[in-house]
Amino acid sequence: MQEFDTPVLDNHLHLDPDHGRGVEAVKDFARSGGTHLLVVNKPSWLLGHEVETGEDFRPVFETTIDVVREASELLDGRAWPVLGVHPGLVSKLVDDRGYSPEAARDLMCAGLDTAAEFVRAGDALALKSGRPHYDVSDAVWEASNDVLKHGLELAAECDCALQLHTESTTDISDVASWADERGVPRERVVKHYAQGHLTGGTPSVMSNRDRLEVAADRGDPFLMETDFIDDPDRPGAVMGPKTVPRRVDWLLDEGHDDAVRNAHVETPALVYDIDTEATLDR
């Protein structure tokens, strides 16, 4: 089993105990040297839930909380849940189920309200929201931004970070301004699937070498992720659970010790107020 002299955190991956590998993926991560995980709930429809009310999201979130509890038992560090509503749900509701954009907005906001209950209770670390990464109508785009703004309002109320799934960009200044208006520190606005730099928030950098080199050289706060989707029907999609530990090994070999500490100790403390060193038990 690989061990490092540092915590190793994957900031964004999914675990599906019913349809995917679940804790078996956690074992791969741990054997490769991984110590900490932020586990984001899979989209509601991929867990078999056709939501109609905010309460309908509750079993989606409870599934994630349960598998996080199991994951923590397998790690030298621990795992935390990140709960929210995938922005792609708006298209499922509008295109497939005949919702108006406004009705879809209201249902997604209600789902975020339910997620926030878990954060307030201390059962989840952060929230997740965003907007589509593909072309949509102006009405759907506006509704999606309203959901994102509601997520920021809840993050302010819960004093937590908000992970975002958005279009491919290195500039989320518009979101940063909405965060400013609601009292959310910009560093707590985390763009998932990010490139090596970001204006307006903290990048959660996809762990390929090119992007990580940019992040390491810049020296700004950043996190590392795989976006492992735990879907047996798409085994090669995105990155596997061993990737972040392997990239940490590579960064250390390249002399990027400061970048490793940045991504796995300093930025998690800055963004989530978590101590990955104090929670590491070897």
pLDDT at residue 240 greater than cutoff 90:
yes
What number is the average pLDDT over the span 32-55?
93
Taking residues 187-191, report their average pLDDT: 98
Q: For the residues 39-45, what does the mean pLDDT come to?
A: 93
Between 237 and 39, the higher pLDDT residue: 39
Return all residues near 175 (Cβ < 8 A) that are at least 6 apart. Answer: 148, 152, 164, 166, 189, 200, 201
Q: Which residue has the tokens 């989320």?
A: 172
Query: How does pLDDT run across 150-177, given as a tens digit for each residue?
Result: 999 999 999 999 999 999 999 999 999 9
Rounded distance, CA 187 to CA 172, Å?
Answer: 12
**To the nearest whole number, what is the mean pLDDT of the chain?**
96
pLDDT at 178: 98
pLDDT tens, position by position, 90-115:
999 999 999 999 999 999 999 999 99
Give the pLDDT confidence of 195-239 residue by residue, as tens digits.
999 999 999 999 999 999 999 999 999 999 999 999 988 877 789
Q: What is the pLDDT of residues 57-71, one digit of tens each?
A: 999 999 999 999 999
SS3 of 9, please? strand
- Predicted pLDDT of residue 10: 98
Q: Does pLDDT of 282 surpass 70?
A: no
245 pLDDT above the threshold of 80: yes
DSSP class per residue in 168-233: S-SB-HHHHHHHHHHT--GGGEEEEEE-S--BSSEEEEE--HHHHHHHHHH----EEE------TT
Q: What is the mean pLDDT of residues 259-269?
A: 98
Domains delineated in the chain: 9-272 (3.20.20.140)
Model confidence pLDDT, tens digit, residues 2-21: 889 999 999 999 999 998 99
Q: What is the pTM of this model?
A: 0.96
